[in-house]
Amino acid sequence: MTPVSFLSKMKACVLTWGCQLNQHRSEEIEGVLERAGYEIVSRPEEADVVILNTCMVRQRAEDKVAGRLGELQHLKKSCPLVIGVGGCMSQGRKKELLRYPSVDFLFGSANASEIPELIERAMRGERPVSLPYPNRIERLPVRRRSSFQAYLTIAEGCSNSCAYCIVPFVRGPLRSRPMKEVLAELRELAELGYKEVTLLGQNVDAYGLDLHDGTNFATLLREVAKIPISRIRFTSSHPAYMTNETIAAIAEGENICEHVHLAVQSGSNRVLRAMRRGYTRERFLRIVEKLRTAIPGVNITTDIIVGFPGETDEDFQGTLSLIREAEFGTVYVAMYSPRPYTAAAELPDDVPPPEKKRRLEAVLEETRRIAQKINERKLEEVEEVLVEGFLESKGLYYGKTRDMRTVLFPGEEGMVGKLVWVKFERATPGALYGEAVKETVA
């Protein structure tokens, strides 16, 4: 084994693609490496070891990883560098990744604790591959990148079989952490002074269904509401699991934020059936109505896929009309791209790329129009904002309201990480602009 004294002089850089679960997994990878004696750096040029934590939900994410591997191969010619690739692409693209001569080892989406050992083996001339099937959640050390906002994974994997989605293959089935373990970590974060914690899961509202002990997401939220953390968020929710009990728990919890990300994917029942989503347009809109009734001012955001195989213009018009009816605060839209190991990959990808792009732009245009209207309704209101950073180019602080809207405003030095009351004076589709009124006493 490489002596710890040598490891302590080594530097590691972790590069990340994909969802918030991946962002948090990178914090854990950095925690594992730091515990093993590595210094964490932000640039590959400064590192002895580079870890790529990958995503393959869409082709674009894979293409970005491939491009970065090409850059690292060039860097490797000028200085010694150990390169490890992990996460979803390692689970789903093992053979393709091993064709890159720059890749020294592969690890999976559920064995980050093995990384120091894999690095040592690679330094001895091996090319190790460790891709265990994801059937458990590792409790790992975390090197958190913020002192006031934190991620907390409560569940991983997915036991659904949506036709377009590779997550069950690369992330495994739903695996929920025991509630006692989740609450203990939350209490630790409260003691450390964290103001906002986001609960994470591929289908976060399916939490507990695999535990078979009566635990569910609503039960967890009611316990979370008792912990002294100002803001609790969660993502991402699946409409099939957004129960009346969960909606009530969100409404009742004073520290549960008024924001629900609920991925609809399409407004056409025919496409929803083909996608195997397990609900109809009508059922989705009933859930939206229940959320708005129970939680005044709730901001509902969503995901949309355009150009799914067989999607007609009539189907797409159904999606646009649903966006208008639901009045989503934000829509994250993507063009369909076939994913390996999925049912939809067997279907003809029959919507031409220019038409996919046209539909994507139409969704964005409709979303901007609705966002402008919603933000204008908030003018002259005063709301609490958690300040996340300072935008040098505009000379403004930026942060989020409880309902997840971006706010920019001028302020005094040292506001980052604080809760500030801001009066809104100007609205754009992407943000509210205002003036700080006072700082929250907390």
DSSP string covering 314-363: HHHHHHHHHHHHHT-S-EEEEE----TTSGGGGS---S-HHHHHHHHHHH
Residue 77 belongs to a domain: yes
Yes or no: say if 202 and 217 are a contact pair by the CB < 8 Å rule: no
* CA distance readout (Å), 40 to 9, 36, 51, 143, 149: 11, 11, 11, 10, 20
| 377 within some domain | no
Which long-range contacts does 289-294 make (Cβ < 8 Å, 24+ apart)? Answer: 290/244, 290/247, 291/242, 291/247, 291/250, 291/260, 291/262, 294/247, 294/248, 294/250, 294/251
CATH number, residue 58 = 3.40.50.12160
Residue 91 in this model has a pLDDT that exceeds 60: yes
d(CA 159, CA 328): 27
Domain boundary among 130, 157, 174: 130
Q: What is the pLDDT of residue 440?
A: 64
Rounded Cα distance between 257 and 262, Å, is 14
Neighbours of 283 (CB within 10 A): 15
Instruction: Give tens-digit pLDDT for 174-230.
Output: 999 999 999 999 999 999 999 999 999 999 999 999 999 999 999 999 999 999 999
22 part of a folded domain: yes
404: left (phi over 0), alpha (psi -120 to 50) or beta: left
Residue 140 falls inside a structural domain: no
- Compute φ and ψ for 75, nearest 5 degrees: -65, -35
- Res. 23 pLDDT band, cuts 50 70 90: very high
104, two tokens: 């020294």
Whole-number pLDDT of residue 100: 95
* 350 and 329 share one domain: yes
Q: Which residue has the tokens 């896929």?
A: 305
Question: Are both 173 and 279 inside the same structural domain?
Answer: yes
Q: Residue 234 half-sphere exposure, CB side, CA atoms within 13 Å?
A: 28
Over range 278-288, report the average pLDDT: 98
Does residue 136 sit within a domain? no
356 and 393 both lie in a single domain: no
Q: Are residues 321 and 173 in the same domain?
A: yes
One domain for residues 118 and 43: yes
- Residue 214 maps to which CATH number? 3.80.30.20
pLDDT band at 325 (very low <50, low <70, confident <90, very high): very high
The answer to whether residue 138 sits within a structural domain is no
Question: What is the pLDDT, as a whole number, of residue 134?
Answer: 85
Query: What's the mean pLDDT when you consider all of the chain?
Result: 95
* CA–CA separation, 338 and 335 (whole Å): 10
Same domain, 319 and 276: yes
Q: Look at residue 435 in the predicted model and tell me its pLDDT.
A: 97
d(CA 295, CA 249): 10
Q: Are residues 408 and 315 in the same domain?
A: no
3 confidence band (pLDDT: 50, 70, 90): very low
The reply to whether 359 and 236 lie within a common domain is yes
What pLDDT, in 10s, does the model give residues 354-409? 999 999 999 999 999 999 999 999 999 999 999 999 999 999 999 999 999 999 99
- 354 plus 396 within the same structural domain: no
C-beta separation of 50 from 44 below 8 A? yes
Q: Tens digit of pLDDT for each residue in 240-266?
A: 999 999 999 999 999 999 999 999 999
Any idea which residue has 């979803």 for tokens? 88
At which of 372, 399, 425 does a domain end? 372
Both 49 and 106 in a single domain?
A: yes
What confidence tier does 7 reach under pLDDT thresholds 50, 70, 90?
Answer: very low
**CA 85 – CA 340 distance, rounded (Å):** 19
Q: 323: pLDDT confidence band, cut at 50, 70 and 90?
A: very high
57-73: average pLDDT: 95
Instruction: Count up the domains in the chain and report the number.
Output: 3
135 located within any domain: no
In a domain, 214, yes or no: yes
**Residue range 126-142: average pLDDT?**
92
User: Same structural domain for residues 179 and 40?
Assistant: no
Query: Does 136 have pLDDT greater than 90?
Result: no
User: What is the pLDDT at residue 330?
Assistant: 97
Query: Which pLDDT value is given to residue 438?
Result: 77
Domain end residue (candidates: 341, 372, 403) = 372
Residue 193 structural domain: 149-372
Q: Are residue 63 and residue 15 in the same domain, yes or no?
A: yes
- CATH number, domain with residue 394: 2.40.50.140
